[in-house]
Chains A and B, each alone.
Chain A
């Protein structure tokens, strides 16, 4: 693994992008914060804790999934991926660099949620450790999904539309911002196609907001591994077409 490249790509494509275009940050934070506000108003504060825990997951999930647009744009329009294919880096290096660069967009949003979570006393030591671990796995899973989708995109004109749809469908529909107990089990399992579902169910259990559902832990681990493997294949590093 070329860690130097991974860090440099993340720094340049993430941090420099934020510095030269701060609107990226606001864009990344806008949807989860808007949902937090909406849920707070509609539930009169009753579902605030769900929205705060879901905010972490929603932010990571939506930002990572929207990287599908950039992954496809870099491959189809800028041809940057082709440039890197003929070097010593692996597709995993490239994926990690792009994923980490997107994670940089999430950091200020995560601080906002951490600040709100501290004010409303939702954190416990075990909860924080579980949250960090879950967010790392969620980053891996959702960015892999974004690479799978980006590999399927054949025309630049579809790039941003598909990335936007993916981000909303796989982040807002799952029980990220509401109790998972509301939806029937078959639908819950169907929604588990989104890693945000299993991550949210696990975290709602860990923070005592909903009953613990142990089956979601292996589901989360397995789907993360499967998505990571498929993503590495679908990235079109040395393609047939």
Chain B
């Protein structure tokens, strides 16, 4: 009871303090992370190997941290692992349904694992699959479904679970644009708090209210989208093929941030002018970290 009160009274959804994860091969996956995650949808963004999945696996009690503490809704993950598991739903990266089972069977099995009765699992599974856009395919074996439909099975699990917090590790990786939009729509229907990882900046910008940028096992920036973009206020991104003064070399291009009114000068030099996006926040933070 005491912990429930703590959970309800807690300001942040998740509090991470001095979290460190070193794998047995010596690789430092997460390095002294301090982070507060608020209620709502939070996106954790980073490149491949940045530590996003390690962080998600630790938060969802699948992996033990080397050191540090995590409190989810006020509950310490080291002490209240089982209680936390009842509060969360975690969809692993690249999770794939069992090919011989239908979406209905997979979601029902997942719900029964969460403690639902057979009858309520059946009703909730049907409703969630319909919400996720799989009404016509809920009795088709999963190995006959497209990649997007397979991902939607897991989103349906999250929808039906009624969990307080849903962890989605790269829910749209490898999907075509239309399937990605479908999965986004299904995620928006979740009534839970959502923590998702992605390396698609537009996905984070579209779905989330709070954004965490991770690189090399460290949190390099965090905040609401507007706050993160604020330091670029009035600026645009210039992409040139030739080196410019104070430009950043990236992918064979030279990138520079200038006030919008100066953009015309660079257009005359054959450069492209782009609006500021989360990509730019990530690039700048990454450059700051390296320097």
Contact = CB atoms under 8 A, between A and B. Distances in A.
Interface of A (DSSP majority class): helix
A83 B110 contact: yes
A16 B63 contact: no
A86 B97 contact: no
B8 interface: no
A20 B139 CA distance: 13
B68 interface: no
Contacts of A25: none
Contacts of A93: 113
A189 interface: no
B112 A79 contact: no
A77 B96 contact: yes
Given A5-B112, A5-B113, A79-B95, A238 B81 contact: yes
Contacts of B286: none
Contacts of A8: 108-109, 112, 118
Contacts, number: 94
Given A21-B100, A79-B95, A240-B24, A88 B109 contact: no
A78 interface: yes
Interface string B132-155: 000000000100000000000010
Given A2-B113, A238-B61, A239-B63, A12 B92 contact: no
A88 B81 CA distance: 10
B113 A84 contact: yes
B62 A87 contact: no
Given A82-B57, A83-B91, A239-B63, A88 B115 contact: yes
Counting chain A residues whose Cβ lies within 8 A of the other chain, the interface size class is 20 to 34
B100 A16 contact: yes
Given A5-B113, A84-B113, A89-B113, A78 B60 contact: no
Given A2-B113, A20-B141, A82 B62 contact: yes
A87 B162 CA distance: 12
Contact of B61 (A17, A74, A83, A85): A85
B116 to A, nearest CB: 9
A9 B100 contact: no
A87 B94 contact: no
A241 interface: yes
Nearest to A74: B98
Interface centre among B61, B97, B100 (most CB of A within 10 A): B100
A4 B62 contact: no
Contacts of A80: 95, 98
Given A17-B100, A238-B64, A241-B23, A88 B114 contact: yes
A40 interface: no
Contacts of B154: 83
- The 5 residue pairs across chains A and B that have the minimum distance between CB atoms: A86-B90, A79-B92, A82-B92, A79-B95, A87-B113
6 contacts: A4-B118, A16-B105, A79-B94, A80-B98, A86-B62, A241-B23
Given A82-B62, A86-B85, 8 more contacts: A16-B105, A74-B98, A84-B113, A85-B60, A86-B60, A86-B62, A86-B90, A87-B113
